[in-house]
Structure 1
Amino acid sequence: MIAVNIGKIFLKAYNEKHGSAYQAKNFFIEKYFPLFFDEKKYMQWVTNSPFVQGIKKGAPPSPAERRERLATLTEKVSDSAADASIAIGFPSLDLTATTSGQLTNLNIPLNEEDVYLSWIGSGLGVGIQGGLSILFDRPSLLLDIFQGWEIYREYLNKTIQLRGNQINTWNGQWVTHRYNPRVYDNNDPTANFSGISATTDGGLEVSTQSWVALMYGISSTYPDSQMTGYVYNLGQTNTTVGFIPFRLPQIQRPVHLYEKYFGTSSRDQAERLFGTAFGFEKACQMGAIGINAMEPKGLREFILNGKMPIYNRQDEKKVINFNTYQIWLLAMLNKEQLWEKAHQFAISLNQYALSSEKGKKDKTNHVNTVLSSTTTKQFINNLLVVVEEAADKIPFVEMGKLVHEMPDDNVPYFLTLVRFQFASISK
């Protein structure tokens, strides 16, 4: 049913843009079918539909056979109850089938237009790594996805090795490419496109895009808004994750902060690190995709266990990883002034450690104890020793006051940021 609504939104936007008056059935027959199914290689594989029933590998239907299959579909739409074989996203009417979920005894009014709209909407799903797809309801985004349909068809027709039936995967690559201002050329839309890769058997396929790269692109085009997407998978069994809000300004925030503090030379490498702590489906369990979901892999142990990071300025890859951790922590704190606060406190701790009498490690041990803190109570208790011993007590008293007044949720992030700043300064 969701695909029906997406198809309706798209068709309205398409008619307004082109000054046309397409109904869903006419659009399907005149636009959708020629692109998706009226060639040797399909753009979409709909299980149990008339377009795929009886097809043998290596023996695509002839033009006449493809027209016969279209006629079969239109006849079934007119005469049969809507099920998964003729309406995309609908359940099977067989109660024993793995796609028979969401059945109801309610008489939901459906018409032929809804069935054709479900096909149109299904072609607008955006596939990402992990086997999931997302349906967005933003008209301008849907029109941009449609622009990629014709380009995908051109690729399939001119590239013998490229396998078909990847429309959702293609949409993910296309949107990411289309919304990347650093590579997209409006005069040559396929220039710099890098979404096709080799397979192990010597063929080619559209590679699956990461959700982070996709949402970077969308958030750069719609930077000041929240967008809701329907996350799902249609296959041998159907998976419904549900409606997920994408907080686009939050998704952009760590990238902008990274550029501000570390420049653009390593931005691309840093972008690939954000959002790697867990998979997209787990991120959806948070209820919304925002800055939390952008957490880089490997940082959690520093936050939870008070582990001290190691800074190696000779290893560029590790430096980028190190800086990415810091930026995500700052983005989570959502208060840029805390960057300077953490930096100054790290300097004060380093100066205190260096003030130990020759041959003694007592003040260094004090600092290590403070840095191992993960809660407000631990931090205040461990800081008291430093306050008593320090020649200049003011920066430590001020930091104790800052942490004491900080929301409890922010304290572990701030203390982790201090550890990273100290690791960098002490080197």
Structure 2
Amino acid sequence: MYTSFIGKKFLATWNLREGKNLSAREFFDEVLFPLFFDDERHLMHVANSPFFQSVSAKDLLSGKREPEIRRENLHQSVATKKPNASFFVGFAAENTSATTSGQMTVMPGKPVNAPVLENPLSPERQTPTILAIDPEEIYASWIGEGLAAGVGGGFYLLIDQEDLLWGIFEGWKVYRKYLMQTPNLKGRQIETWNGQWLAHWLDGGDADTLKIEPVKKVEQKTKQEHWAVPTLEWTKLVLALCRRFPGKMMTIYAYNLSQTNTTLGFLNLNLPEVYRLYELRDKIFINQPDSVLNYQEIADLEPLFSFKPACKFGLIGLRAIEPKKLREYLPQNDPKRNKDLNLSKEEYHKQFLIFKLWICAMLNKTELLELAGQLADILVNFESSGGDRGTTKEDRLSDQVRSATNLRTFADKWGEVLAKMSGLNNFPENSAETIRNTIHQAVKMPGDHFPLFVALMRFEYNYLKNQARNK
């Protein structure tokens, strides 16, 4: 399991920084166990593990504390049983009827603590077995799982970056303190906690500046209410990573452990592409003090895709973090379904800025934003040429331009606008050249960029109309 790899990778870093040489088991006993399990309020949940089971009355007669007995039971399982998901985090179930039995095999191999048979193909070997696994791998899986960062959708991320793993580790003690100081707070949420803590830590935060507001949850079976650490939206973590590593492509491993283990596998984060949002923010809004998005407002971007569908792109980049509701404002085949943003409300104004920023980052050409603004200005002036007679031919033609869903319609309607403009004098200078340049640029665009450009033009048009109304 990759949890074991990450666990061993971190252990090597920890030993180096602390000047020690602990094995995975020793680290478990001396560092992880005291923080995670030496209290009835655990930090991590491993289904069916000794830490999830009650202690027998017979064992209590020994005079040992329950956490100590559970730890001994874990060590006993590691030493005597075939590895399974109850004590090897993320591994196969114990028997072939369980949902995770696909990780078991009938290939000839030596099960843990099994005698060597003279004939490896004998009937005795034709039963599901698990190839011999070093106990250190098992203990390392607990360390690795403790370093997973949870995001929305119930998925955990493992990141093979030494400094990030250390940052997550620094949050362990903070979580223990937070859990003990927060009444009625659900425990066993280390992965969820790690996601929140990592995003905070990446922006230079520490225990003193951390603010996590618990959310109220209701248990489905018992209907009891309790408080829980909220799950981090996956885009918040990706955006925090891009701010910390703006020039780095990063690989993550995504998975979920529940009744069935789900593996999304290794995914690349295109952090340089995502960071364009921040680069363009400074370029686009530098001279617009009333239209500046701060880091938090960009981080609060609500994505269209939840994490699992976003992974279907194969690469987590700008396209994967498309803002939710943007498609409502893209040109529609049915003109009656076209929507305009109401920029008179502050909430819609911020949404407009997010849409505008994301589209510009996708198009990756600031000159297209300038073109969109110039086209919007042309349309506003074109509509005014029709006078105050209510809805005019000019208004309808302007709407048809802004509703174009394909390049041919877009070019044809701009041609009609250009023809009507030829006999008028109240248009911005070089309007005809701007329109011709636009068509030239649109022809060169990838097909999926064209509707984004039209939407950008619509947004700029809405902005100008709103300004005119507020004068």
- TM-score, normalized by length of structure 2? 0.82
> Which of 379, 383, 405 is the equivalent residue of 2:410?
379
Is residue 2:116 matched to residue 1:85? no
Name 1:325's counterpart in structure 2: 355
Tell me what 1:216 maps to: 239
1:267 paired with 2:294, answer yes
Pairwise CA distance, 1:202: 6.3
1:93–1:100 Cα contact (<8 Å) kept = yes
Name the residue aligned to 1:315. 345
Query: Structure 1 residues 63, 174: CA separation in 2 closer, same or farther (over 3 Å shift)?
Result: farther
Q: Which residue of 2 aligns with 1:34?
A: 34
Residues 1:410 and 2:433 are matched in the alignment:
no
Task: Kindly report which structure 2 residues correspond to 1:123-142, keeping only aligned pairs within 5 A, or say none.
Answer: 123-142=146-165
Counterpart of 2:453, as a letter, is F
Check 1:275–1:334 CA distance in 2 against 1; reply closer, same or farther (3 A cut): farther
Native 8 Å contact 2:331 2:454 kept in 1: no
Q: 1:236 to 1:405 in 2, by over 3 A?
A: closer
Tell me the equivalent position of 1:241: 264
Deviation at 1:285, TM superposition (A): 1.3
Matched ranges for 1:362-377 at <5 A = 362-377=393-408
Supply the distance in 2 between the matched residues of 1:2 and 1:273 (Cα, whole angstroms).
Answer: 31
Which structure 1 residue ranges, 5 or more long, are not aligned?
none
Query: Do the aligned partners of 1:39 and 1:63 also contact (CA within 8 Å) in 2?
Result: no
Cα 1:199–1:63, aligned 2, differ >3 Å: closer, same or farther?
Answer: farther
Contact persistence 2:239–2:299 (CA under 8 A): no
Q: Structure 1 pair 303/24, CA: closer, same or farther in 2 (3 Å)?
A: same
Larger of the two Rg values belongs to structure:
2
Task: Tell me if structure 2 keeps the 8 A contact 1:10–1:139.
Answer: yes
- After superposition, the CA RMSD in angstroms is 2.5
Rounded Cα–Cα distance in structure 2 between residues aligned with 1:12 and 1:141:
14
Q: Pick closer, same or farther for the CA change 1:178–1:273 going to 2, 3 Å.
A: closer
Verify the 8 A CA contact 1:88 1:118 in the aligned structure 2.
yes
Residue number in structure 1 paired with 2:439? 400
- Asked if residue 420 in structure 1 is aligned to residue 459 in structure 2, the reply is yes
Q: What is the CA-CA distance between 1:317 and the residue it aligns to?
A: 0.5
CA distance in 1 between partners of 2:451 and 2:340 (Å): 18
Instruction: Give the structure 2 partner of residue 70 of structure 1.
Output: 71
Alignment partner, residue 184 of structure 2: 161
State the 1:205 CA deviation: 2.2
Q: Pick one of 254, 276, 284 that aligns with 2:311.
A: 284
How much has 1:232 moved relative to structure 2? 1.1
Partners of 1:298 and 1:180 lie apart in 2 by 28
The number of equivalent residue pairs is 419
Structure 2 counterpart of 1:101: 102
Alpha-carbon distance in 2 for matches of 1:423, 1:160? 49
Moved more, 64-73 or 286-295: 64-73
Give, in whole Å, the separation in 2 of the partners of 1:364 and 1:29: 75
- Select 1:305's aligned residue among 332, 340, 344: 332
Compute the displacement of 1:266 (Å).
4.9
Q: Matched residues in 2 for 1:175 and 1:158: separation?
A: 20
Does the Cα contact within 8 Å between 1:403 and 1:411 map onto a contact in 2?
Answer: yes
Structure 2 Cα separation of the partners of residues 334 and 105 of structure 1: 53
TM-score by length of 1: 0.90
Q: Give deviations 1:141-187, integer Å, cap 9, x for gaps.
A: 00100000111112223434222111111101111221224xx25xx
Amino acid at match of 1:372: S
The answer as to whether partners of 1:136 and 1:228 remain within 8 angstroms in 2 is yes
Instruction: Quote the Cα distance in structure 1 between the aligned partners of 2:456 and 2:265.
Output: 34
Moved more, 385-394 or 92-101: 385-394
- CA shift, 1:274, in A, is 2.4
Equivalent in the alignment of 1:46: 46
Q: Please tell me the residue identity of whatever aligns with 2:7.
A: G
Q: Is the 1:380–1:400 Cα contact (8 Å) retained in structure 2?
A: yes
Q: Is 1:387–1:397's contact at 8 Å kept on the other side of the alignment?
A: no
Matches within 5 A, 1:113-124: 113-124=136-147
Q: Is the 8 A contact 1:308 1:420 kept in 2?
A: no
Task: Letter of the 2:405 partner, please give it.
Answer: T
CA drift at 1:64: 2.1
Deviation, structure 1 residue 100: 2.0
3-state SS of 2:365 partner: coil
Say which of 214, 219, 231 aligns to 1:196. 214
Instruction: Quote the offset at 1:204 in angstroms.
Output: 3.1
1:143 to 147, 166, 187: 166
Q: Aligned pair in 2 of structure 1 residues 152, 397: CA closer, same or farther (>3 Å)?
A: same
Answer yes or no: is the 8 Å Cα contact 1:386–1:396 preserved in 2.
no
Relative distance call for 1:55 and 1:295 in structure 2 (3 A) is farther
Distance of 2:212 and 2:64 partners within structure 1: 32
**Change over 3 Å in CA distance of 1:388–1:304 after alignment to 2:** closer
Q: Quick one: distance in 1 between partners of 2:449 and 2:293?
A: 27
Q: Does 1:152 align with 2:205?
A: no
> Deviations along 1:284-318, whole A, 9 cap, x unmatched?
11112110121111111333516654343431011
In structure 1, the residue corresponding to 2:157 is in which secondary structure? Answer: strand
Distance 2:343 2:203 in 1: 30
Structure 2 residue corresponding to 1:388, chosen from 419, 431, 441: 419
Q: State the Cα distance separating 1:140 from its structure 2 match.
A: 0.8
In structure 2, the CA distance between the partners of 1:192 and 1:174, relative to structure 1 (3 Å rule), is closer
2:427 alignment partner in structure 1 = none
Contact in 2 for aligned 1:273/1:297 (Cα 8 Å): no
- Larger deviation, residues 342-351 vs 244-253: 244-253
Q: Give yes or no for contact 1:387–1:393 (8 Å, CA) kept in 2.
A: yes
